[in-house]
């Protein structure tokens, strides 16, 4: 999976077999199958919170942009790159692939 | 047991671990055999699952003792891991307030906790902190302080016979620092400090955030992957319940003072 495989219509959800601990300064995620422990900072946690398997990346970007008081087009690239990284780390799964 | 002889040293090493066996309990027996060519063989009976009984073979008796200490640590961790969250950490208590010092090997855990005990703290461990998952209370692992060569000049008064070759560690019971230095348990930690000795630097502290602290605590947890959900919840709870700091250690006196200042601040809060 690369950033090129995700577009605004891609839908992404949290993977199975996770243990998640939330903090004021971010999120810590344990993924059992890969035995990976990951720390997401505040912007990362904001994206993580809306990767609910219902919203596509356009909607996720809009939510994140609103949260930080930015324009959607200003955050979409970063959101897509970040989500691609989460896919590589296997802590999220792509439910609906871009066409 | 000869006073000051090697048998006394072995007694000093193993006495914290020994007690009368209870009915149905497995007895772990170590044997050291010396063959004609002055080769020492350390065996454990019963062997740990998947391992041979032979723990170490060496011509240097001190390395055999070090292996005995290492093997005992492994056995204790394996036995305790199902019931406790086990951190690779030193720990001490001051006026009923517990501070733990998680860190990898060679970071300054033993040196720092020795300095704390000399400053009046009570000793819980220099190697493994056992946290009760429900309460975060700390159980002592009262092994002798294992003081490596690099720290000997800091503690010349702790040089107790028998003294081995230049590369051997000193095995120092906390009670030899002060008769009442050993504590059996500690309340849930009120302070977590990650020590890191950096030669040629000045001592300084940096506060860690909750998520940073949780990651660092996880790195210091023995057998984290065997109970990841329980362990992560406990570590996150610890990170939320008490302040956590990185302690860059330039010298021991300032490091001990820094821990004291952090504890003062926590108690005052």
Query: How many alpha carbons fall within 13 Å on the CB side of residue B174?
Result: 30
pLDDT, residue B38, reads: 83
Q: Which residue of A has its CA nearest to B218?
A: A37
For the segment B203-237, what is each residue's pLDDT rounded down to a tens digit?
999 999 999 999 999 999 999 999 999 999 999 99
The residues facing B248 across adjacent strands are B196, B204
pLDDT, residue A2, reads: 53
Residues of B within an 8 Å Cβ radius of A: 209-212, 214-215, 218, 225, 228-229, 232-233, 236, 239-240
- Whether B232 sits inside 8 A of A19 (CB atoms) is yes
Please give the model's pTM, rounded to 2 decimal places.
Answer: 0.89
Q: Which residue blocks in chain B are alpha helix, DSSP H?
A: 6-14, 61-80, 109-118, 210-219, 228-241, 252-268
> Quick one: average pLDDT of A85-96?
92
- Whether A25 sits inside 8 A of B240 (CB atoms) is no
pLDDT, averaged across chain A:
91
Which pairs with CB-CB distance under 8 Å and at least 24 residues apart come from B20-29?
B28/B75
For the segment B168-203, what is each residue's pLDDT rounded down to a tens digit?
788 888 999 999 999 988 999 999 999 999 999 999
Greater confidence (B8 vs B126) lies with B126
Cβ(A92)–Cβ(A1) below 8 Å: no
pLDDT above 60: residue A98: no
Q: How many CB atoms lie within 10 A of CB A74?
A: 11
- Whether A25 sits inside 8 A of B211 (CB atoms) is yes
Considering CB atoms only, which of A19, A28, A35 is closest to B229? A19
Confidence of residue B32 (pLDDT cuts 50, 70, 90): confident
Chain A residues near residue B233 by CB distance under 8 angstroms: 19, 21
For the segment B83-99, what is each residue's pLDDT rounded down to a tens digit?
999 999 999 999 999 99
For the segment B163-173, what is each residue's pLDDT rounded down to a tens digit?
666 667 888 88
Quote the DSSP letter at residue B66: H
Mutation target for B interface from A19, A40, A45: give the one with most B CBs within 10 A: A19
Cα dihedral sign, B139-B141-B145-B149: negative
Cβ(A10)–Cβ(A54) below 8 Å: no
- Specify the residue for token string 């063959």: B35
Chain B residues near residue A35 by CB distance under 8 angstroms: 225, 228
Q: Which residue of B has its CA nearest to A24?
A: B210
Q: How far apart are the C-alpha atoms of B124 and B138, rounded to whole Å?
A: 8
Q: Which residue of A has its CA nearest to B230?
A: A19
Q: What is the DSSP string of A7-73?
A: -TT-EEEEPSSEEEEEETTEEEEEETTTTEEEEE-HHHHHHHHT-EEEEEHHHHHHHHHHHHT--HH
- Whether B232 sits inside 8 A of A27 (CB atoms) is no
pLDDT, residue B166, reads: 66
- Whether A39 sits inside 8 A of B218 (CB atoms) is no
CA distance B185 to chain A (A): 28
Name which of B195, B205, B191, B186 is nearest B243 in CA terms.
Answer: B191
Q: How far apart are the C-alpha atoms of A28 and A61, rounded to whole Å?
A: 21
Considering CB atoms only, which of A25, A30, A35 is closest to B209? A25
Cβ(B112)–Cβ(B259) below 8 Å: yes
- Which range has highest mean pLDDT (B32-41, B115-124, B139-148)? B115-124
Residues of A within an 8 Å Cβ radius of B: 19, 21, 23-28, 30, 32, 35, 37, 39-41
For the segment A9-54, what is each residue's pLDDT rounded down to a tens digit?
999 999 999 999 999 999 999 999 999 999 999 999 999 999 999 9
């Amino acid at each position: 999976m690369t950033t090129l495989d995700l577009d605004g219509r891609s839908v992404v959800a949290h993977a199975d077999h996770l243990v998640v601990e939330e903090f004021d300064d971010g999120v810590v995620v344990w993924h059992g199958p890969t035995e990976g422990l990951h720390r997401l900072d505040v912007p990362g946690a904001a994206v993580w919170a809306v990767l609910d398997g219902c919203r596509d990346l356009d909607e996720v970007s809009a939510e994140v942009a609103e949260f930080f008081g930015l324009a959607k087009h200003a955050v979409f690239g970063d959101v897509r790159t970040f989500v691609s990284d989460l896919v590589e780390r296997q802590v999220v799964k792509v439910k609906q692939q871009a066409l | 047991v000869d006073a000051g002889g090697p048998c006394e040293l072995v007694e000093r090493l193993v006495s914290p671990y020994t007690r009368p066996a209870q009915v149905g309990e497995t007895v772990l027996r170590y044997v050291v055999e010396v063959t004609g060519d002055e080769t020492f063989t350390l065996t454990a009976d019963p062997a740990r699952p998947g391992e041979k009984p032979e723990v170490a073979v060496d011509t240097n008796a001190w390395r055999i003792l070090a292996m005995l200490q290492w093997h005992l640590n492994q056995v204790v961790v394996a036995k305790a891991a199902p019931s406790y969250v086990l951190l690779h950490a030193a720990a001490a208590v001051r006026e009923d307030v517990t501070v733990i010092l998680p860190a990898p090997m060679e970071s300054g855990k033993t040196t720092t906790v020795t300095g704390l005990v000399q400053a009046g703290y009570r000793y819980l461990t220099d190697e493994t902190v056992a946290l009760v998952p429900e309460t975060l209370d700390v159980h002592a692992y009262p092994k002798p302080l294992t003081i490596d060569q690099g720290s000997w000049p800091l503690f010349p008064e702790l040089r107790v016979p028998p003294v081995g070759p230049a590369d051997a560690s000193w095995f120092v019971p906390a009670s030899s620092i002060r008769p009442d230095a050993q504590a059996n348990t500690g309340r849930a930690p009120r302070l977590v400090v990650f020590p890191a000795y950096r030669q040629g630097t000045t001592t300084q502290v940096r506060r860690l955030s909750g998520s940073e602290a949780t990651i660092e605590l996880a790195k210091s947890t023995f057998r984290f992957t065997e109970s990841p959900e329980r362990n992560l919840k406990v570590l996150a709870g610890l990170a939320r319940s008490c302040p956590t700091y990185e302690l860059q250690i330039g010298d021991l006196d300032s490091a001990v003072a820094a821990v004291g200042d952090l504890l003062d601040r926590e108690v005052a809060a």
